[in-house]
Amino acid sequence: MVIKKLPEEFYIMGFLKIVRDKIKKIPTILSNRGFTFIEVLVALTILIVIVFAFTPLLVGSINRIHFAGDKSEALYEGQSEMEVDIAERRTIDGYELVFTYGDNEDTEIVVPGGLVDVEKTKGDASAWLRGLVPFVPTINLYPSLIIEGHETPLKMSVLGRETDFELAKSNNRRFIIYDRHGNKVEEQLITSVSNLEDDVYDQEAEFNITKNLTNYGSPYIISLTWEIEDEIEVTTRGRLKVKLPYALAVGEGQRIWISPNARETWREKTQITGTGQ
């Protein structure tokens, strides 16, 4: 018996034919078989896990992007307002910036000036900027904190550095009170001016507040402007805070009395003073 060896082309062609037939059967098998319920359930489970895993990351990233945008906008507006306040020399409170030099910090330089305080809020972000304008007229208020329901008129004492209250009084300049929204509350003339022999303050002025200031409008800005040369004005500002009362009582005729210190009032059994509403 003679076995004849077939050429290699015959085997290759046969293998290719088998592979081709298998490939033709794959679409038919898939189209006839489809997906089982278990396969669909597993696919949905995987999809839900992916969604729940990445949704908090996506939401957090979006919130951080919005917060960063609000922060940048608040900083930009605050910086712009601070530049204007510095250029116009508008300050809030008197302040001293102290520099120390030397190995033992025995050399000290004190720079008096006024604080420029700006706070801006955009959305959930806020920006707070503070700077010092040296050698400018500044004022400090006494008291700088009062309780809502205070007596009226309320005498205010204003201590000034590098100020000229006498010139302001002679020109009938007034203390102007603004609430925190920038609304003008009232204007009052200076009632008295006195010079001080003090290392910190040069002058003291007094005026009266006749309006009932509330915590809602706090902090209030008290401003005084006077002219030092032709068309050159100086403006000083002080901050007045109004806190809510610690205790109140309602009396006859629906009158309301307010005590800023309920413990001392009860201990001393003194009459509560205040304004009736």
The conformation of residue 123, written as its DSSP 8-state character, comes to T
Higher pLDDT, 199 or 84: 84
Contacts of 27 (CB under 8 A, 6+ apart): none
Instruction: With a cut of 90, say whether residue 155 has pLDDT above it.
Output: yes
pLDDT in tens, 15-46: 556 656 655 555 544 444 556 777 778 888 88
Instruction: With a cut of 90, say whether residue 186 has pLDDT above it.
Output: yes
pLDDT at 157: 94
Q: How far apart are CA 61 and CA 69, in angstroms?
A: 12
Contacts of 49 (CB under 8 A, 6+ apart): none
Arithmetic mean of pLDDT, 139-143: 91
Structure tokens that stand for 211 in this block: 């309006």
Mean pLDDT of the chain: 79
Asked if residue 116 lies in contact with residue 130, where contact means CB atoms within 8 angstroms, the answer is yes
> Which burial class, exposed, middle or buried, applies to 114 when counting CB atoms under 10 A from its CB (0-12, 13-18, 19+)?
buried
pLDDT in tens, 166-176: 888 888 899 99
Asked if residue 243 lies in contact with residue 148, where contact means CB atoms within 8 angstroms, the answer is yes
Instruction: With a cut of 50, say whether residue 277 has pLDDT above it.
Output: no
Instruction: With a cut of 60, say whether residue 192 has pLDDT above it.
Output: yes
pLDDT in tens, 35-78: 677 777 888 888 888 888 888 888 888 888 888 888 899 899 98
Query: 122-138 b/e with 16+ CB inside 10 Å = b?
Result: beebebebeebbeebbb
pLDDT at 2: 47
Higher pLDDT, 96 or 236: 236
CATH 2.60.40.10 maps onto the chain at 138-243
Arithmetic mean of pLDDT, 228-255: 77
pLDDT at 238: 92
> What is the CATH superfamily name and number for domain 138-243?
Immunoglobulins (2.60.40.10)
